[in-house]
Amino acid sequence: MSSHSGITGKPVWIDLSTHDIEGAQHFYGELFGWSFEDQGEEFGHYHMVKHGESLIGGAMSSLIGPEGPLDEPVNPTIWSVYLGTDDVAAASQRVTESGGTVVVDPMQIGELGSMAVAVDPAGAMIGLWESDTVEGASTMSEPGLPCWFEVMSSDFDAAKPFYETVFGWEPNFTLEDGSESREAPESGFRYATNFSRDRVSAGLCDAAEFVQESYWRVYVLVDDVDKAAKQVAELGGSVLDGPQDSPFGRLYTISDPQGAQLQILSGGN
C-alpha cells in the first residue's frame, strides 16, 4: 500500500448531507461562490463542491437511499469532517479499540479512495479518508475556503487519547505565555491542536460547559464577516451567534436555510 502520511490526522474533506441540494447550491453559491457538480447516478448523485478550481468537499441528498428516492431524509442536515489516514481499515479497527464506534464500515469510492464513518468516545461523528486519486480538499487561508476545523467535545479526556491513537495526533496546548506544551495546563481552559504549530490544522476544545453533544465544526474564511452575516439572513439562513472577536479574527456561527451549521471568519491567519 502506498503511503499517504502527508494527510494523516489532518482534515481532508467536508461533506454536506442535506434534504435540499438545490437550496444548498443556491445558498453556498451566493455566499461563498461555491459550485456543486453532480457526479451522476453511478455515485448516487453525489456532488463535488468547488470554489473555482479548488475542491472544497462534497454534498449528498439525504432523500436518496441505496434503493433510490425517499420520502423522508435518511440523515440530518449537517456538515461532517473527514480526517486523513494511511489505512482506513486499520484505523477503523483502532476506533473500536479506543472506545469509539464505526457506523459506516470501510468502503471503496470508485478510484478516489476509501472511506468510513465513526463516532468518537465523546459522541462526535468523524469521517475517515484514505486517498487513492483524490488526496483531499483545498484548505488554505483564502476567502471562500475552509480555514479551520475543531471538535467541540463534551468529554475532552476521552476524546484526546482517541484522536492520538486512531489518527496519530500529537496534541499541543497553547499556554498563557504563548508557548506550546504537550502537557495540559494544570488549570483553566483546555484547547489542544492536532500537531505542533508548523503542522497544525485542527483543534480539540474542552467544551463540556458549552455543549451536551460533541460535534465537529468548520470555519470558512470570508473577506468581510459582517457583510457575509447580513447576506446569510438575506439568503434565508440564520445567524446563531456572534459577532465574536478572537485573537484569530472576527466570527459568526451561521446555519444554512436547511439547518446545517458553519462558522464564518474574517481576519484569520
Which of 171, 265, 222 shows the shortest CA–CA distance to 30? 222
pTM of the model: 0.90
Whether 243 and 226 have beta carbons less than 8 Å apart is answered as yes
Coil, strand, or helix at residue 261? strand
pLDDT of residue 3: 39
The amino acid occupying position 213 is E
pLDDT of residue 63: 63
pLDDT of residue 74: 63
List average pLDDT for each run of 10 residues in the chain, which is 269 residues long: 64 93 96 92 84 90 67 79 95 97 91 91 96 69 90 97 97 78 81 88 94 95 96 97 90 96 83
pLDDT of residue 246: 85
**Measured distance CA(87)–CA(2) in Å, rounded:** 10
3-state helix, strand, coil in the chain (%, to 5): 15, 40, 40
pLDDT of residue 71: 67
pLDDT of residue 231: 98
Q: Is the peptide bond before 243 cis (omega within 30 degrees of 0)?
A: yes
Coil, strand, or helix at residue 52? coil
Phi, psi for residue 147 in degrees, rounded to 5: -125, -10
pLDDT of residue 2: 36
84, three cell numbers: 486523513
Using CA atoms, how far residue 74 sits from 18, 40, 44, 59, 117, in Å, is 10, 19, 14, 14, 15
Whether 216 and 154 have beta carbons less than 8 Å apart is answered as no
For 195, counting Cβ atoms within 10 Å of its Cβ (0-12 exposed, 13-18 middle, 19+ buried), the class is middle
162 Cβ contact list (under 8 Å, min separation 6):
95, 98, 99, 100, 120, 121, 122
Which DSSP symbol is given to 213? S
**Measured distance CA(37)–CA(108) in Å, rounded:** 20
